[in-house]
Chains A and B, each alone.
Chain A
């Protein structure tokens, strides 16, 4: 994690492309949410969204190998945890990725798609927008408990 701060009750992280960064980011997210009273299930689901969506952005939006930091913010809003993942790679809407059918075999199973499906099934809502600033922005809303 190249930068981390809490402003206006929200956690803001800049994540680069290393595995250590992912682990560090997850740890900071877990601590932030835990200190604010989120439940174990909510924290797990937020970590899942962080892990799958940041990994997805690294693998697909930045497939050319260019290093673009990924911005992650998280906040508690009423009964929800809101996690926002933003990157400045080419337009990439993970929600438009074909939802994988029932897996038949390892050989035929898509490597991509299952992670996004896991996040969708554990969240209340998931939205994508291409911002006016030219960034991919995915917002995930999760029950705090």
Chain B
């Protein structure tokens, strides 16, 4: 379903004052995301704990 899904979801969440963080990406996927600087829009963490740390407290 392409990168569209991530962008559309993150944008919809932002409109609701929520934030999306990705984690656990395969190194090849991470490389593709870094190529287009996606992590500047949707943070990319190494694991779940690191991802949760990037989110504001509930």
Contacts and interface: CB of A to CB of B under 8 A. Distances in A.
Interface of A: 19, 22, 40-41, 44-45, 48, 51-52, 55-56, 59, 100, 102-103, 105-107, 109, 111-112, 114-115, 117-118, 121-122
Interface string B19-49: 0000000101100110111101110000000
B2 A115 contact: yes
Contacts of B36: 100, 103, 114, 117-118, 121
B28 A114 contact: no
Contact of B41 (A41, A45, A55, A109): A109
Range, interface on chain B? 20 to 34
B interface majority secondary structure: helix
A115 B3 contact: yes
B41 A103 contact: yes
A23 B10 CA distance: 22
A51 B1 contact: yes
Nearest to B5: A55
B10 A121 contact: no
B4 A107 contact: no
Nearest to A112: B4
